[in-house]
Amino acid sequence: MVSESDQTSTGALLSRAIFEVVTNNLTLQRLESLISTCCGLVRNIEEVAVVTASSSSRSSKQQQQKTKKQKKKKKKKKKKKKKKKKKKKKKKNDDDDDDDDDDEKTVVHTSWIVTLSR
């Protein structure tokens, strides 16, 4: 963040320069001094802005990566849940199939008994 003193100093210098131009008291040497001081302050402000922007960009990238990781985790969890569900369903179906086999055996067995009794 740009310090208030830098902002205030720049504003004060510019208003002072304007006042001196209006009152015709501005000498070339004074103008050069004001310009170099303003340039120095502006450079400081720009450096702060660049640092702020890069750190903001860095934190934004970190946030994006964090979000990506969370999404991947969620997706993985969902996939695992689905797999578990499928396994349970398959196991249940297999159990049901086993029951069907028992029924068939019983039917065969019963028919055999019926056949024997005739």
Backbone CA torsion sign across 47, 52, 55, 56: negative
The answer to pTM > 0.75 is no
The CA-based dihedral angle spanning residues 79, 83, 89, 92, taken in that order and rounded to the nearest 10 degrees: -150
**d(C-alpha 51, C-alpha 63), whole Å:** 18
* Residue extents of the structural domains in the chain: 4-117
Q: Of 44, 61, 65, whose CA–CA distance to 1 is shortest?
A: 44
117 pLDDT higher than 60: no
- For 58-113, the pLDDT digits (tens) are 777 778 888 888 888 888 888 888 888 888 777 777 666 555 444 444 455 555 55
**d(C-alpha 1, C-alpha 18), whole Å:** 27
